[in-house]
Structure 1
Amino acid sequence: MAPMEQQALALDVRQLEKLSVLQDEDAPNLVAEMAQGYLARTPARLSRLRELLAAGNAGQLANEAHGLATASGMFGMMRVRQYCKALENLARGSSLEGAEGLLTQVEQAYAEARPLLMAELKLRD
């Protein structure tokens, strides 16, 4: 395991517990519904990151990586968040060298954490 992978959990359920305060009798499944939206949108966001990287559009790549980092962190996908933040920081720098590897790590971390989030919230595909 690389050092970065050791620093962040694939899924930190404490983040989901923090979100649960948003739920009440009128919206008992709000967190699950929000997570379903996140999960539905993320594959397109990952594709967008690939497109921006291929185009060499560092500014937009940084912005997209930032947005995905924020959303991923909200749902406890801390490794996805960590790799997205690293990708964002790289894209804001002077070169995109290494971005391909980071984006692959983002995708792998998402693939690992997605079923954990779905199981935690009892979501179906």
Structure 2
Amino acid sequence: MEQQALAMDVRQLEKLSVLQDEQAPNLVAEMAQGFLARTPAKLTRLRELLASGNAGQLANEAHGLATSSGMFGMMRVRLLCKTLENLARDSGLEGAETLVAQVEHSFAEARPLLVAQLHLPE
């Protein structure tokens, strides 16, 4: 499943570029920096919710991360988060630990691609 989605789909970034204009020429890069700054804490939160067995909140956190990662073209992260969300909502937490690890790995893989694509500082 992990390979069905691209690590980075630059078409998503191109879609976001319509938000930029003369007043906000770097809006997408600024939004991406905020996303990249917040995501490590969200990944930690997924681990904490998994450890505490809170499937409902884990599903909510996974949903939010799926939305934001998809917005920035991290399609594999998005797919894995959607899978995690659905698992937590429908059948509990069996298999969720593997999915959280895959989300973390896929984010680590896609992060430098997003940084490079938007010419962000490391």
Instruction: Write out per-residue CA displacement over residues 29-84 of structure 1, whole angstroms, 9 at most, x where no aligned residue.
Output: 00000000000000000000000000000000000000000000000000000000
**Which among 4, 7, 26 is matched to residue 23 of structure 2?**
26
Alignment match, 1:44: 41
1:10 lines up with 2:32 in the alignment: no
| Structure 2: segments with no counterpart, 5+ residues | none
SS in 1 for 2:90: coil
1:90 lines up with 2:87 in the alignment: yes
1:63 lines up with 2:87 in the alignment: no
| Structure 1: segments with no counterpart, 5+ residues | none
Alignment match, 1:78: 75
1:105 lines up with 2:102 in the alignment: yes
SS in 2 for 1:92: helix
Question: Aligned partners of 1:39, 1:20: CA distance in 2, in Å?
Answer: 18
Amino acid at match of 2:37: A
C-alpha deviation, 1:93, in angstroms: 1.5
Question: Aligned partners of 2:48, 2:2: CA distance in 1, in Å?
Answer: 25
Question: Aligned partners of 2:64, 2:92: CA distance in 1, in Å?
Answer: 20
> What percent identity do the matched residue pairs reach?
81
Question: Aligned partners of 1:42, 1:79: CA distance in 2, in Å?
Answer: 15
Consecutive aligned runs of 4 or more in structure 1 exceeding 2 Å deviation: none
Normalized against structure 1, the TM-score is what? 0.96
C-alpha deviation, 1:7, in angstroms: 1.2
C-alpha deviation, 1:95, in angstroms: 2.4
Aligned-residue CA RMSD in angstroms? 0.6
Question: Aligned partners of 1:95, 1:89: CA distance in 2, in Å?
Answer: 9
